[in-house]
Homo-oligomer: A and B are copies of this chain.
Amino acid sequence: MSYTDVFSSFFSPSSIAFIGASKNLHKWGFNILHHIVKGGYSGALYPVNPNGGTWYGIPVYPSLRDIPGAVDLAIIVVPAEMTPDAMRECAAKKIPAVVIITAGFSEAGAPGKELEKQVVQIAREAKIRIVGPNTMGIFSGYPSRINAIMGATPLKPGRVGVISQSGNLGTSIAHRLNRREIGLSRLISSGNEADLTVEEYLEYLEHDEQTSLICLYIEGVRNGRSFFSIAKRISRTKPILLLKGGTSASGAHAAMSHTGAIAGDAAIFGAMCAQTGIIQVDSIDEMVDIAGILLSQPEMKGNKIGIITQGGGWGVLATDLCARYGFELEPLTSSLVEKLDAILPPFWSRRNPIDLVAPGRVTVITDTIRLLVEHSNVDAVLLLGLGYMTIRARRWMQSTVINIDDVREHAEHMISEEMKLMKLIVDQVRGLSTPVIPVIDQVAFDEIMDNNPVKFLDSSGIMAYSSPEYAIRALSRAAWYYERQRARQ
């Protein structure tokens, strides 16, 4: 079976056998099956359990042999000691792809190691490929939703492929992407990598048309040379964001106990990432922040920043952060100052950061962006201090002090003005070749409301940041990536 065919058995199977189906809520055999069904898998699904019967209306087969048609993918959740037998049945049924969720293999001492060897042996002989064992499962966004994963978050389909050597971190990365409306093409919790390895998953995502950005959590790789050579090739076309676990001596020791990975020298690994164009990150939050810029913003072509702010303090902090991350604040030419004088209130700062003071109509903000981009050499614009208008309007509407009828019209106007501004920003980002990064204060992130500017931007595919440090840190890594891409050409 060809390489592509194997992975299509995993990620677009026509039929799935779920070996170890259960109605016991304590069991993974309940939860993962539940997630697959709830997730809306549209192919044929065959739960398997010796007791037969039905699983909430779905017929349960006593064994694989009893399943009438062909099976593309088997998911195994039975105990470790029963897994070799299940694998033999998969071989007999000629199933090409198996996800072994079950733990208790090489990560669990000598008897588990022996069991894993046995399972791999059966697979090799029958030409079965394995994800796992000891994995939280897989997710596929296209063509059919396969939510065969233990994580409790419902996942959205999208353009990010995630490979993780920790199930928890994989699902946490997925959740953090999803909460910002960034969907996933694939999620692979690679587990013990007894057969398929992170290198092979990478090569699959390289050719996967649904994937345009790759997120990795790695504790160690079997073959560093091959890993970096694949990553180097991929990163020309698809950015790779990587979080490395086990960068400290004690962390490497912990990783050994977790996945058995040999973590290797962190400094060498870091240098190799930089050389091969991998964007190495310090946390999964940073990973999502960078993904937001790479997925939604045009290329940043240099290191000159323009800051537009409502609020002097935000401008000062952002300026410090730009210096820390190697960006330069582009001075405003006198002709640009003149142009801005014509639209801004009298006390505006007349320098970069452009402190708008109280700009009046919201179009002043996007006009300022336009003038800045057209009449200066800025390579990116930071837009700070947004997101208070709807909140303020809601405070009026929720007031028990004032007469709501007196304020309703004005409140609705404020809300529609802020929404108008957000739409203008989205249009501007889509129309410009310069990134414009919106920073919206935490208060708007926290408020559950209609017309939330953060939700609007997120669902329009333009990620907003809750504080300038996250925006600037992420922008600096995106800028590094683009600079490398240009140098390669």
Residue contact B219 to A56, C-beta cutoff 8 Å: no
* B-contact bits for A394-413, CB 8 A (1 contact / 0 none): 01100111110011001100
Instruction: From B285, B324, B402, give the contact of A467 (CB < 8 A).
Output: B285
Measured CA separation A392–B26 after assembly (Å): 11
Given contacts A312-B259, A355-B258, contact A319 B248 (CB under 8 A): yes
Residue of B nearest to A351 (CB): B257
Q: Which of the segments A81-89, A159-167, A335-343, A456-464 contacts the partner chain?
A: A159-167
Q: How large is the interface on A (under 10, 10 to 19, 20 to 34, 35 or more residues)?
A: 35 or more
Assembled-state Cα–Cα distance A246/B312 (Å): 11
Of the candidates B153, B259, B316, which one forms a contact with A219 in the assembled complex, judged by CB atoms under 8 Å apart? Answer: B316
Are A248 and B323 in contact (CB-based, < 8 A)? yes
Q: Is A23 touching B353 in the complex (CB atoms < 8 A)?
A: no
Q: Does A364 contact B (CB under 8 A)?
A: no
Q: Does A176 touch B at the CB level, under 8 Å?
A: yes
Partner of A104, one of B219, B347, B353: B347
* Cβ < 8 Å to B, chain A residues 302-340: 310-317, 319-320, 322-324, 329
1/0 per residue, CB under 8 A from B, across A368-411: the answer is 00000000000000000100100110011001111100110011
Residue A169 interfacial (CB < 8 Å): yes
Q: Are A392 and B152 in contact (CB under 8 A)?
A: yes
Least CB distance from A190 to B in Å reads: 11
Residues of B with C-beta under 8 A to A312:
166, 168, 254, 257-259
| A442 touches B (CB below 8 Å) | yes
B-contact bits for A87-126, CB 8 A (1 contact / 0 none): 0000000000000000110011100000000000000000
**A153, A310, A349, A411 — which one has the most chain B CB atoms within 10 A of its CB?**
A153
Please tell me if the beta carbons of A257 and B355 are within 8 angstroms of each other in the complex: yes
Asked whether B314 lies within 8 Å of A168 as measured between CB atoms, the reply is yes
Contact across chains for B169 and A313 when beta carbons are under 8 A apart: yes
Copies of this subunit: 2
Identity of the chain B residue whose Cβ is nearest the Cβ of A347 in the assembled complex:
B108
Query: Does A1 count as interface, using CB distance less than 8 angstroms?
Result: no
Q: Report A81 CB to chain B, min CB distance, Å.
A: 13
* A282 contacts partner chain B, Cβ-Cβ < 8 Å: yes
Let me know if B176 and A316 touch, CB within 8 A: no
State A322–B329 Cα separation when bound (angstroms): 35
Which of A165, A258, A391 has the most B CB atoms < 10 Å from its CB? A258
Q: Beta-carbon contacts of A1-42 to B below 8 Å, as 1s and 0s?
A: 000000000000000000000010100000100100110000
Residue of B nearest to A346 (CB): B108
Which residues of chain A in 206-226 are interfacial with respect to chain B, using CB atoms and an 8 Å cutoff? 217, 219
The answer to whether the Cβ of A247 comes within 8 Å of any Cβ in the partner chain is yes
* Of B254, B322, B357, B467, the contact of A284 (CB 8 Å cutoff): B467
**Do the beta carbons of B319 and A23 come within 8 Å of each other?**
no
In the bound complex, how far is the Cα of B443 from the Cα of A227, in angstroms?
Answer: 31
Complexed CA–CA distance, A194 and B92 (Å): 86
Residues of chain B within 8 A (CB-CB) of A283 are 317, 467, 469
Q: Which of A232-258 contact B (CB under 8 A)?
A: 243, 245-251, 253-255, 257-258
A448 contacts chain B at the CB level, 8 A cutoff: yes
4 tightest Cβ-Cβ pairs between the two chains A and B: A166-B313, A258-B312, A248-B323, A168-B311
Chain A positions near chain B (C-beta within 8 angstroms):
23, 25, 31, 34, 37-38, 56, 103-104, 107-109, 152-154, 164-169, 172, 175-176, 179, 217, 219, 243, 245-251, 253-255, 257-259, 282-285, 310-317, 319-320, 322-324, 329, 347, 349, 351, 353, 355, 357, 385, 388, 391-392, 395-396, 399-403, 406-407, 410-411, 441-443, 446, 448, 467, 469
Chain A to chain B contacts (Cβ below 8 Å), 8 pairs: A56-B402, A168-B314, A175-B446, A179-B446, A248-B323, A251-B317, A258-B349, A284-B467
